[in-house]
Structure 1
Amino acid sequence: MTLAVLFGAHSFEHEISVVSAIALKKILPKTEIVYIFCDYDRNFYLIPTETITSKRFSSGAYKNDTALVLKQGGFYAKKFLGERKVAFDVMVNLVHGMDGEDGTLSSMLTFFSVPFIGPRTEGCAISYNKLFTKLYAQEVGINVLDYQVLRKDSPMPIRIEYPFIVKPLRLGSSIGISVVKEEKELSYALDVAYEFDDTVLIEPFKKGVKEFNLAGCKADDFIFSIIEEPQKEEFLDFDKKYLDFSRTKRVNEATIDERLEQSIREAFKRLYDPLFIGALIRCDFFVIDDEVYLNEINPIPGSMANYLFDDFEGVLYALRYHLPQGIAMPKAYRYINSIQAAKGK
């Protein structure tokens, strides 16, 4: 299988996407990888796999690589006479945050008939917006923490009791997140969050709560990773998560009983199917008083959550053959022709 990895793009999480893409090179030894980079200006480049390094992007050296255009059927490089299509079997959308997780690129890839592993537009819309995620989880019967939404231009009293967490509504990787323990800390926390979004989400901060991460996808049946209990302090800040995105070694499995494991898996199934068919996602859960709560859905997890699987390469191979198929549509103008026939024209 030849796998194209699409990464970068116009996003606050651009650098994280670069780190995730480079990490895949180490964990897919049997797979031929084609790297397609989208820069901050949304230009596409074909990056030589054998020379890919983080410095190539920070220095701007990638601009000397082959420029690409996206059109019907795939990505193309211009030649002196004509153009050449970049050959691959399936693409992985590995763009974190804006462009990748908000539905922009998934819509483009679908429109141009490019086969890809990743969330489709509906799944992106739901998981990118933390308010929509909570509403969706409640709709499918999954618990969520209490929450309040604040808009920058419409201040209102906060009803959540201290301590609480302030999060930008549409951002991941713990960017812009603060724990607010008392009122004097609130103004600064809001200023930080509003740098990244004009709307924020406020949730109660529950110290010492158990958190568990589960990744997976659906092929013939569900494929689950191990369940991880991340080791953390108050919460995983950006620096900790940034280092986490380059992980390539399998982590240790959480020690939990069978009942809790099944509850977490059942919650994952309800969230995944059908909204995320074709994607490998990771769901982060809280467990409070033996009840499972959704924390967030990661539709494009860092390094594709490879560190949670025994055979990550095999998972991608299986998922490749179970991508969503569009509805077959007849290419005809029967309605217009019938009207013309009825009018004698």
Structure 2
Amino acid sequence: MKFSILFGGKSFEHEISIVSAIALKKLLANTDIFIFLDDNHEFYLIKKENMKSVFFSSKSYLKEPKIYPKKNGFFTRTLFGEKQIQIPTIINLIHGGDGEDGAIASLLDFYEIPYIGPRKEACILSYDKELTKMLANHRGVNVLDYQVVFQDSKIEVENFPVIIKPARLGSSLGISIVKNKEELEYSLDKAFEYDKKVIIESFIPNIKEYNLAGFFANKELHFSFVEEPKKDEFLDFNKKYLDFSRTTNTQQADITTEVENMLKDNFSKIYTNLFEGAVIRCDFFIHNNTCYLNEINPIPGSLANYLFADFPTTLNKISTSLPKPNNIKATYKFLNEIKVAKGK
């Protein structure tokens, strides 16, 4: 089955989205439709042979055809009006703002364009780490102790070490481990460069961390294998994106069946009745035989393809089980009743 890939976006993770799209191009041989959203919110149709990092960094994409969304698809202007571009199901591969905050999901839903990716409600609850923790608590999933702080507010931390994260950002950008009060101000300034809202969370050295991806199709949840990421104190940006061996030599974690089932149970609580239509990755901690949600990746890097033995089959399965939009038709029954009641 063929797919089209939507990537880019106006976000701090714009370049990471490009890297993800190039990775999927190599993996999905039949995919030849690539839709690039630049930082001016213009859509461009990119040829498969131009899917190279230098093509975007050099701004060469500006010479490609501009396209725009309308009902049931994307269109381009021609000398004779407009022409619809025949595109297969879209994979939303825009990380961070636009892609994960619900903007693109809302646009695609509005124009009834089929896509693989989180819907707007799922985006809203997973994009903001505070809302993610509230969601987890509501669904019976543990989270580590945390506090939410804002720029220019009074900030007090009593127990160190802590980990500081921008609340609405992924890809490990702006994250620091703070071991004492002397390091606190600099780390907060670093995080506030990306977001005015920051999460301060308990940091437990040498805690076990596991990643699990999954999706819903054919009336059941399907899971990837469990990964234990190789890291120092935490999985920073360089480990995630500059160490490409992570996506080619990823191995299944050596864990007991009990731990694996614990991870799957917590993943199911997070995913069900919210993330249908998406391939997501949840990052968990295990501490003292208790499972904690670290974060939800609603559009993980390269769509977490490296956690699945047969990723093309994964996409084929999920594409047959996408949520259907409500087919609501205006009947004007209520207005007609008012007209009759008023005699006009």
Which residue, out of 188, 192, 195, partners 1:194?
192
Rounded to whole Å, the distance in 2 between the matches of 1:324 and 1:244 is 35
Is the 1:245–1:302 Cα contact (8 Å) retained in structure 2? Answer: no
Aligned to 2:237: 238
Q: Helix, strand or coil for the counterpart of 1:105?
A: helix
- Partner AA of 1:8 in structure 2: G
Q: Which residue does the alignment assign to 1:55?
A: 54
Which residue does 1:178 correspond to in 2?
A: 176
Q: Distance in 1 between matches of 2:45 and 2:18?
A: 14
- Distance in 1 between residues matched to 2:137 and 2:249, nearest whole Å: 32
Match of 2:25 in 1: 25
Mapped partners of 2:196, 2:248: distance in 1: 37
Retained in 2: the 8 A contact 1:217–1:278? yes
Please, what is the CA RMSD of the aligned residues?
1.3
Deviation, 1:245, is: 7.1
Deviations 1:29-49 (A, max 9, x none): 2x3331000001110000001
Counterpart amino acid of 2:184? L
Structure 2 regions of 5+ residues with no counterpart?
none
Residues 298-319 of structure 1: per-residue CA shift (max 9 Å, x gap):
0000000000001100010110
Aligned to 2:226, the other structure's residue is in SS state: strand
Whole-Å Cα distance in 1 between the matches of residues 43 and 246 of structure 2? 26
Count of residue pairs the alignment pairs up: 343
Query: How has the CA–CA distance of structure 1 residues 332 and 247 changed in structure 2, closer, same or farther, with 3 Å as cutoff?
Result: farther
**Offset, 1:61:** 0.3
Q: Counterparts of 2:26 and 2:317 in 1: how far apart (Å)?
A: 20
- 1:207 corresponds to which of 205, 208, 232: 205
TM-score using structure 1 length: 0.97
**Counterparts of residues 276-315 of structure 1 (less than 5 Å):** 276-315=275-314
On the 8 A contact 2:67/2:74 being kept in 1, the answer is yes
Alignment of 1:1-345 (within 5 A): 1-29=1-29, 31-159=30-158, 161-220=159-218, 221-243=220-242, 249=248, 251-345=250-344
Secondary structure of residue in 1 paired with 2:3: strand
Provide the rounded CA distance (Å) in 2 between the counterparts of 1:15 and 1:32: 20
Give 5+ residue unaligned stretches, structure 1.
Answer: none
Residue 274 of structure 1, CA deviation: 0.8
Paired with 1:265 and 1:54, the residues of 2 have a C-alpha distance of 36
CA distance in structure 2 between the aligned counterparts of 1:18 and 1:246, rounded to whole angstroms: 18
Tell me the TM-score normalised to structure 2 length: 0.97
Pairwise CA distance, 1:343: 2.2
Deviation at 1:174, TM superposition (A): 0.6
Cα separation, 2, equivalents of 1:87 and 1:310: 30
Deviation at 1:89, TM superposition (A): 2.4
Q: Distance in 2 between matches of 1:200 and 1:144?
A: 16
Aligned-partner Cα distance in 1 for 2:231–2:245? 17
Residue by residue over 1:177-196, the C-alpha shift from the partner in whole angstroms, topping out at 9 and shown as x without a partner, is: 01111111111001100101
The whole-number CA distance in structure 2 between the counterparts of 1:326 and 1:47 is 29
Runs (4+) off by over 3 Å:
244-248
Sequence identity (%)? 49
Q: For residues 226 and 314 of structure 1, what CA distance do their matches in structure 2 show?
A: 15
1:130-188 alpha-carbon deviations (Å, 9 max, x no partner): 010011001111110000111113213224x1111111111000100011111111110
Contact in 2 for aligned 1:173/1:238 (Cα 8 Å): yes
